[in-house]
């Protein structure tokens, strides 16, 4: 997605959290590979799969993706995320929830320029 307001590491953290319970082994391997390519550690990917992050902004973004509602949207804005970033996170959340885990992983769709 050109002009993305979300860092690729944050985007992958969101995907990891959203696919944590229904990811196939192939998707997990692709996510792991993408994370390594982005410089993420195993611990960062593990905590993302649990719906959190060591980074405050990433944790807020993951929280919004997991529970996209008015309250978490407002919390994300107060934490410093832009309206554009919040809208994009909510879009990713919806797209990920509507895709099956045997399709192309989101990072392949969204990380490409």
Give tens-digit pLDDT for 67-112.
Answer: 989 999 999 999 999 999 999 999 988 887 776 444 444 444 444 3
Give percent of the chain above pLDDT 90. 66
The Cα 91–Cα 94 span in angstroms is 5
Instruction: List pLDDT tens digits, range 12-55.
Output: 999 999 988 877 889 889 999 999 999 999 999 999 999 999 99
How many alpha carbons fall within 13 Å on the CB side of residue 24?
10
Domain spans in the chain, listed from the N-terminal domain onward:
9-100
Specify the long-range contacts of residues 16-21, CB closer than 8 Å, at least 24 apart.
16/45, 16/48, 16/49, 17/48, 17/49, 17/50, 17/51, 17/62, 17/65, 17/66, 18/65, 18/66, 18/92, 18/93, 18/96, 18/97, 19/96, 19/101, 19/105, 20/49, 20/50, 20/51
pTM score:
0.81
Instruction: List pLDDT tens digits, range 10-19.
Output: 999 999 999 8
The per-residue pLDDT for 104 is 44
Reply yes or no on whether the pLDDT at 58 is more than 80. yes
Q: How many C-beta atoms surround the C-beta of residue 46 within 10 A?
A: 12
């Amino acid at each position: 997605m050109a002009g993305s307001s979300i860092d690729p590491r944050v985007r992958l953290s969101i995907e990891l959290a959203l696919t944590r319970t229904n990811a196939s082994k192939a998707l997990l391997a692709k996510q792991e590979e993408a994370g390594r390519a982005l410089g993420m550690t195993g611990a960062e990917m593990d905590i993302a799969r649990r719906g959190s992050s060591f980074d405050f902004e990433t944790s807020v973004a993951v929280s919004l993706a997991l529970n996209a509602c008015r309250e978490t949207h407002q919390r994300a804005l107060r934490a410093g995320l832009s309206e554009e970033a919040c809208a994009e996170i909510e879009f990713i959340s919806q797209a990920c929830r509507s895709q099956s885990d045997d399709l192309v992983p989101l990072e392949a769709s969204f990380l490409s320029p």
